Amino acid sequence: MVFSDKMRDAAYYHYSPSYEYSLGIELVDEKQAMKNHANFRYTYLLNRKNTQNSQRNLYFQSSLSAGGNDEYSYGFLGDWETRRYFIGFGAQELKSNLRDYEKQFVQIGFAPYLGDYGDLHSWLMIKSKHDSRTDKWNTYPTIKFFKGDYLLEFGVDENDEPDIHFMIRF
Amino acid sequence: MRYLLFSILIFPSLALAEKNIHGDHADHNAQHGHEGHVAMDYVGGTSSELDVPRFDEFVSDQKGNQIAVVSVSGMVCDFCARGIEKTFQKDAGFKKIDVDLDTGKVLIAYAPSTEIINEEIEKKILSNGQTVTDIQILTAQ
């Protein structure tokens, strides 16, 4: 997965030995601090409920930075989705010798049409992010496309900064 | 600026939506008409539908092979369901697979000489994070 916003560019590669957890490495370019470092990430599925028409997930997520300053983070991610609607949220505590801060987000979306398996799928979404360093909520529309093994999510936040996620499933 | 970009991006999506809505009407009679769905009542009391034209197309080149019609819950996303296809494709015992997000059905073809047990199919689906609720084994004619 490749991610880019005002604060950072990141490329994340992860391996999931089972659907219950994944191990990954994230290469991060902190734009404002002008430094590069790697994060080792661990994600664990705490709860999943499958129904005929929906899936609900709750994940624990943590990371440990190799960039010094004893940086680490932990938090939760959750989502509920049907083929038509999506609701997601996340909360993360980030700790280091330099500064502790928190990040949260919520996201809702809907699919304007229901494509068949293999079609181009599109989601129209609203995302709201909060960073305790600025203590502001930043709310903006995003659009998500996926087809086959490729997923692209794109948005531009209130500061006209792009928020981009690109994911490939191997 | 972000609204301008969003408008540019949203256009193809809405165009596809319109195409799909019209397509639904056109396809409804051709492929997804009521005669094309067969209600399947299961022992557990649950009921779902099999898209018969889709099934017929799937088995058209599978004469003599066994077909597992697997009902799967939690299969709501194309990107997530990709893992199911990849898991079965890794196993040479399975000849062909089809995922139907609309009905929550996965069709799996395998040679009659291959020893496939339901538990193996359930395990492969579960390894991708979805849950099997029913398996029907048919033979393609």
What ipTM did this prediction achieve? 0.80
Contact A55 B3 (CB under 8 A): no
Instruction: Give the per-residue pLDDT at B15.
Output: 55
**CATH number of the domain that A45 lies in?**
2.40.160.40
Which pLDDT band holds residue A1 (cuts at 50, 70, 90)? confident
pLDDT value, residue B51:
87
For helices B78-89 and B118-126, the axis angle rounded to 10 degrees is 140
B5, B17, B78 ranked by CB distance to A117: nearest: B78
The burial of B55, by beta-carbon neighbours within 10 Å (0-12 exposed, 13-18 middle, 19 or more buried), is given as buried
Give yes or no for residue B7 having a pLDDT over 80: no
- What is the residue type of A158? E
Mean pLDDT of chain A: 91
Residue B29 above 70 pLDDT?
no
Q: Give the model's confidence band at A23: pLDDT under 50 very low, under 70 low, under 90 confident, else very high.
A: very high
CA B74 to chain centre: 12
- Same domain, residue pair B103 and B132: yes
Residue B26 shares a structural domain with residue B70: no
| pLDDT reported for residue B116 | 76
B42 & B15 share domain: no
Q: What is the CA radius of gyration of chain A?
A: 16
Q: Look up the domain containing A21 and give its range.
A: 2-168
Closest by Cβ to B10, choosing from A19, A53, A143: A143
Size of interface A-B (CB pairs under 8 A): 104
Q: What is the CATH number of the domain that holds B55?
A: 3.30.70.100
Residues 71-110 of B with CB under 8 A from A: 73-74, 76-83, 86, 98-102, 104
Which residues of B20-121 form beta strands (DSSP E)? Answer: 37-41, 47-51, 66-73, 94-100, 105-110
The reply to whether B45 and B108 lie within a common domain is yes
A117 → chain B, closest CA residue: B78
User: Model pTM?
Assistant: 0.79
Confidence of residue A45 (pLDDT cuts 50, 70, 90): very high
A97 touches chain B (CB under 8 A): no
Residue of B nearest to A85 (CA): B76
Residue whose C-alpha is closest to residue B71's, from B47, B91, B87? B47
B31 pLDDT exceeds 80? no
| pLDDT tens column, B53-112 | 999 999 999 988 999 999 999 999 998 899 999 999 998 889 999 999 999 999 999 988
Q: What is the pLDDT of residue B25?
A: 38
- Enclosing domain of residue B12: 1-30
CB-CB under 8 Å, B78 with A119: yes
Interface test with B, best of A47, A51, A84, A122 (most B CBs within 10 A): A122
A114 contacts in chain B (CB < 8 Å):
20, 101-102
- Structurally, how many domains does chain A consist of? 1
* pLDDT tens track for B32-52: 333 444 444 443 334 457 888
Q: How many domains does chain B have?
A: 2
Residue B138: predicted pLDDT: 87
* Dist. CA A54–CA A23, nearest whole Å: 26
pLDDT for B47 = 44
What is the three-class DSSP state of B95?
A: strand
pLDDT of residue B27: 39
pLDDT by residue (tens digit) across A91-135?
999 999 888 999 999 999 999 999 999 999 999 999 999 999 999
Same domain, B3 and B26: yes
Same domain, B74 and B135: yes
Alpha-carbon distance A45 to A94, whole Å? 20
